[in-house]
Amino acid sequence: MNASAMSPIPSLTAHGVARAFVSGRIRTNILHDLSIDLYAGELTLISGPSGCGKSTLLAVLSGLQRIDAGRVTALGNRIDEMGQRELERFRLLHTGFVFQGFNLFPALSALEQVELPLHYLGLPAKDVRERALRALEEVGMGARSRLRPTELSGGEKQRVAVARAMAKEPELLFADEPTSALDAANGQMVIDMLHRIARTHGTTVLCVSHDPRLLGHADRVLSMEDGRILSDRRNSPLAPSHSVNQQASSP
Amino acid sequence: MVALARKTLIYEWRRFLPAILAVGFAGLLQVLQAALVLGIFSSASVYITGSHGDLWVGYPGTQSVDQGRALDPNVEMRLRMDPAVTRVEPFIWLDGDWRGDQATGGVSVYVSGIDPRDNSLMFARVLDAELRSRLREPDGVIVDRADLDKLGVRVGGTAAINGHRVRVVGVGSGLRALGGVNIIASLETAARLDGDPASSGRPTYLVAELAPHTDAASVARRLRHAPGFGPYDVWTSRAFARRTVLYWMFDTGAGAGVLFLAGIVFLVGAVITSQTLVAAVAGSVREYATLNALGVGLPALRWVVLEQAFWVGALGLLGASVVGGVLMVIARARDVPVLLSMPVTLVCALLVMLLAAVSGLAAARALRRADPATLLR
């Protein structure tokens, strides 16, 4: 991390990535020779009209989908070369996800939703409980940790989903349209939360959204259209986030 | 560990109820048909199970107790020479043609000639000393109460077996036979009723009692095939009863019928259960996909589905046991022939859990749809 503060090394890199979908005889190119570097401690927002390939880019960068050409490097690992098991293991150790639908198990309380993936990390039960409670406190859901999804509002559900994603303390956090199902206030709260996670934990946060309200809250905004990145705009300089990062990682 | 499978099962019990009912009914059907068939066919071995005695000695290769042939009476000497044998009793079994006083025509009967003394081995569990003593009357016979109408007689009435006159001196219960009517007589009476001069008076079986705490199987092995006594074979009473019941089950095709029905029940149960579980998996497929995105592998998710299948099986089994137990009590109270042994019950329980496991495996295939990439919109 200190090294990255001096000469920023991207935590997540795509180089010459191409991805196409074949439906019958029709081949549709979604991503065209796309290259991108993402940095730790930043919230990067990919925006663009629907069908521009932004969700596919997120799927490719997070190891949920394969690429046809190019390479994807995450935390120094070539995830495009990993097998299914290896990828699952990589995701378990290093990545968190927040989806548009909250995808919470109806039968589980907020605390159990967050604890569930942690168990698969092989942590002792005590650590699992502590980490889950800490994550829920961080998203302001500590007091409502015993409630089931039906007893929570949409915003609260998404905060539980964010807690579930960050409790693993991932280096990479991916969010796909995290605010689309939320009203303005809750959407604001969730994006602020993602931003805070990037700043305080030095996490690489990649968020895909066509919600224009989010543009002002990202450190960096990539605009996509037709499978290409049209513009790369920075709302805040790279250095400050890394200095924060440096503070966070030094004792 | 968060008990995802169990908590989902409890929280969404309505979703799982059809599977639990399917498993329960499949288990109930399996166990009840097994109990009925065993109940019906175990009456074929009533001669053995209704008697005391540890060993049965009969003609070699006898497949069922009703197929015995006359033995060399000297075999009795061979048995008595063994130190473990405390008592030997002859048993005569023969076919007969019954002609009653009333217009019932001829009835095919099985005549059992037994030692009528108070403490004898044969039918010791079915006939009390009082009934037994009446057999000492020459030409006296005992029939099952339920067979009186079929035979067209009353207690005290007379009839003819193989042309010889007999008198019904009493009625018992638990004597009903498969494929005919059981008639109990003394050894002397039975010998007189035997129309075949070649076998007349010779025992069909010898029943032996062993000293307490003797291993019947090893004594049976020891006594088997001794030279110089004519052809005979020795079985433990348990093995011979089992041999008889199995012979009847498979000779009549009933056993094949049971297996066929069991197969159908298993198939229908598995189809309903697996479809219900598939629906349950499909209902949570987005949540499973999210877990997969977070790095929880497909094998771990498969375990969750299998665990659900296990609980569905266990709950179905519990329901089937309770209802089955109640039905068995009702059946017994109404003289419906039902019989369940521990091994058969365990096999049924095992089949039910196997059904649940197969359904779980089938349902786990639905997890293939839990592709996290489909969550991205």
Instruction: Quick: pLDDT tens for B162-205.
Output: 989 999 999 988 888 877 899 999 999 999 998 777 777 789 99
Residue numbers in A near B7 (CB within 8 A): 105, 107-108, 112
**B375·A99 Cβ contact <8 A:** yes
Residue numbers in B near A208 (CB within 8 A): 376
pLDDT confidence tier of residue A35, bands split at 50, 70 and 90 = very high
Instruction: Kindly list the distances between the CA atom of residue B335 and the CA atoms of B19, B43, B173, B237, in Å, as whole numbers in the listed order.
Output: 33, 13, 11, 25
Indicate if the pLDDT at residue A249 is higher than 50: no
Residue numbers in B near A56 (CB within 8 A): 376
Range of the domain at A13: 3-249
pLDDT confidence tier of residue B83, bands split at 50, 70 and 90 = very high
The C-alpha torsion from B319 through B323 and B325 to B331, rounded to 10°, is -160
**A107·B7 Cβ contact <8 A:** yes
Give A133-173 pLDDT, tens digit per residue: 999 999 999 999 999 999 999 999 999 999 999 999 999 99
**B293·A65 Cβ contact <8 A:** no
DSSP letter (8 states) at residue B153: -
Pairing of strands B158-161, B85-99: antiparallel
pLDDT confidence tier of residue B225, bands split at 50, 70 and 90 = low
- What is the C-alpha separation between A151 and A142, in angstroms, rounded? 15
pLDDT at position B2: 80
Q: How far is A178 from chain B (nearest CA, A)?
A: 11
Residue numbers in B near A100 (CB within 8 A): 375, 377
pLDDT at position A50: 86
Among A105-119, B155-169, B248-262, B316-330, whose mean pLDDT is lowest?
Answer: B248-262
pLDDT at position B119: 87
Across the interface, which of B8, B287, B377 has its CB nearest the CB of A55? B377
Give A193-230 pLDDT, tens digit per residue: 999 999 999 999 999 998 888 888 899 999 999 999 99
- What is the C-alpha separation between A226 and B156, in angstroms, rounded? 105
Across the interface, which of A64, A89, A119 has its CB nearest the CB of B1? A119
Indicate if the pLDDT at residue B42 is higher than 90: no
Q: How far is A6 from chain B (nearest CA, A)?
A: 31
pLDDT at position B57: 94
Provide the H-helix boundaries in B284-333: 285-293, 298-333
Residue numbers in A near B300 (CB within 8 A): 120
pLDDT at position A166: 94
**B297·A88 Cβ contact <8 A:** yes
Across the interface, which of B8, B286, B293 has its CB nearest the CB of A107? B8
pLDDT at position B346: 94
Instruction: Kindly list the distances between the CA atom of residue B247 and the CA atoms of A105, A227, B62, B94, B176, in Å, as whole numbers in the listed order.
Output: 55, 76, 10, 18, 18
Give B340-356 pLDDT, tens digit per residue: 889 889 999 999 999 99
Residue numbers in B near A105 (CB within 8 A): 4, 7-8, 284, 287
Mean pLDDT, rounded, of chain B: 90
Q: How far is B365 from chain A (nearest CA, A)?
A: 17
- What is the C-alpha separation between A212 and B240, in angstroms, rounded? 86
Indicate if the pLDDT at residue A7 is higher than 80: no
A60: left (phi over 0), alpha (psi -120 to 50) or beta: alpha
Tell me the CATH number at A217: 3.40.50.300
**B284·A120 Cβ contact <8 A:** no
pLDDT at position B102: 67
Q: Which residues contact B352 (CB under 8 A, 6 or more apart)?
A: B23, B26, B27, B30, B313, B316, B317, B320
Residue numbers in B near A119 (CB within 8 A): 1-2
Indicate if the pLDDT at residue A5 is higher than 70: no
Give B246-299 pLDDT, tens digit per residue: 898 888 787 788 888 888 988 998 999 999 999 989 999 999 999 999 999 999
Indicate if the pLDDT at residue A240 is higher than 60: no
Mean pLDDT, rounded, of chain A: 89
Among A114-118, B40-44, B222-226, whose mean pLDDT is lowest?
Answer: B222-226
Whether chain B has a CB inside 8 Å of the CB on A123: the answer is: no
Instruction: Kindly list the distances between the CA atom of residue B24 and the CA atoms of B36, B139, B313, B355, B362, in Å, as whole numbers in the listed order.
Output: 18, 53, 8, 11, 19
How many structural domains compose chain A? 1
Chain B residue set in contact with A, beta carbons under 8 Å: 1-2, 4, 7-8, 10-12, 284, 286-287, 289-298, 300, 372-373, 375-377
Q: Where are the beta strands (DSSP E) in chain B?
A: 55-58, 85-99, 106-114, 140-144, 158-161, 164-172, 181-186, 205-210, 233-236
Q: What percent of chain B has pLDDT over 90?
A: 57
**A168·B294 Cβ contact <8 A:** yes
Residue numbers in A near B297 (CB within 8 A): 85, 88-89, 92
* Model ipTM over 0.90: no
